[in-house]
Amino acid sequence: MKLAVPDLISNSYFPAVAAVELGFFKEEGLELSLELIFPVDKAYQAMRDRAIDFVGGSAHSALAAFPEWEGAKLLCAQAQGMYWFLVMRADLAARRGDVGIVRGRSIGAAPWVEMGLRRLLIEAGIDLERDGVTIAPVPGATGASVNFGLTAAKALEDGKIDGFWANGMGAEVAVRRGVGTVVLDVRRGDGPKPCFYYTMASLATTDRVIDGSPETAAAAVRAIMKTQAALKADPERATEVGRRLFPPYEAMLIEELIRRDLPYYHPSISPDFVAGMNQFARDLGILRGEVPYDKVVATWFAELWSSTN
């Protein structure tokens, strides 16, 4: 079986990555290999086409391959809340929370990821056309094996973009190099309140897997939960994973990033989250109907969520 993530050298989908590397999927009887498929819509399309069994990605992006939530469901959260950062060029001297800094600027963001920023700016009163805001792919961020955050940080350093909307690793690298300033960290309270529920890092699979092999789906949920618990108990294990998969500098950073994320490590997916995510999706036109909670979430595994963590 195969698990796809859309970004590897990152904290965003680290519980899924670590569940493979630390052996928790195997401990649950699942022989899973890890694949990097960028951008996230391609990962979900691969799952739809049966090339992939699970996707550890942004929850709302399942709609790229499963319109109206037909054929796939979320199994659990890797972590709570929308997890991307808005980082602007350091020389702009942006203040934390100053959304207006985007006026007249070019912002790099990945496909489907950019939707979170686009809707956030609208919620904050920014008119993209009137205010001259360009949101587009980052130069050089092409190909199935792109590590987006690092590519975005390099593009910012090279002056190719004024800012980026990407993962915590990209943000940390840009800040430590002195080329970027964090303006928004939605997970920790920046931006309009509804933004927290736009999306989350989740684990998803198809109805085919859930219906045909519910024990496999349950095992996957338990593996993610064991990984969350293991990282909470010993965050240094993140470095163990990083040394196997990341360049040396990013491997050195990952433990600190995971420590920051630990308060959000819980597998539950609440009705409030699904309502917020679906409203976000309707606002963007990628969802039409009022889809019920149990069509989005595999609720029969919900009892597992409270067994640990």
117, 109 contact by CB (below 8 A): yes
Question: Are both 138 and 36 inside the same structural domain?
Answer: no
- Asked which of 167, 196, 225 is the last residue of a domain, the reply is 196
pTM of the model: 0.95
Question: Are both 172 and 206 inside the same structural domain?
Answer: no
pLDDT for res 140: 72
Question: Are both 98 and 234 inside the same structural domain?
Answer: no
Question: Are both 69 and 216 inside the same structural domain?
Answer: yes
CATH of the domain at 74: 3.40.190.10
- The domain of 301 spans 2-80+199-305
pLDDT for res 165: 97
Task: Count the domains in the chain.
Answer: 2
pLDDT for res 144: 53
Question: Are both 187 and 265 inside the same structural domain?
Answer: no
Question: Are both 93 and 43 inside the same structural domain?
Answer: no
Question: Are both 70 and 163 inside the same structural domain?
Answer: no
Instruction: List, edge to edge, every strand of the sheet that includes 2-5.
Output: 33-36, 2-5, 54-58, 201-206, 72-79
Question: Are both 169 and 124 inside the same structural domain?
Answer: yes
Question: Are both 175 and 251 inside the same structural domain?
Answer: no
Strand partners of residue 201:
58, 79
pLDDT for res 141: 63
pLDDT for res 147: 78
pLDDT, one tens digit for every residue, the chain (309 residues): 999 999 999 999 999 999 999 999 999 999 999 999 999 999 999 999 999 999 999 999 999 999 999 999 999 999 999 999 999 999 999 999 999 999 999 999 999 999 999 999 999 999 999 999 999 998 876 655 557 788 899 999 999 999 999 999 999 999 999 999 999 999 999 999 999 999 999 999 999 999 999 999 999 999 999 999 999 999 999 999 999 999 999 999 999 999 999 999 999 999 999 999 999 999 999 999 999 999 999 999 999 998 754
Question: Are both 34 and 74 inside the same structural domain?
Answer: yes
Count the alpha carbons within 13 Å of 275 in the hemisphere toward its beta carbon.
4
The CA-CA-CA angle for residues 80, 81, 85, to 5°, reads 130
57, 111 contact by CB (below 8 A): no
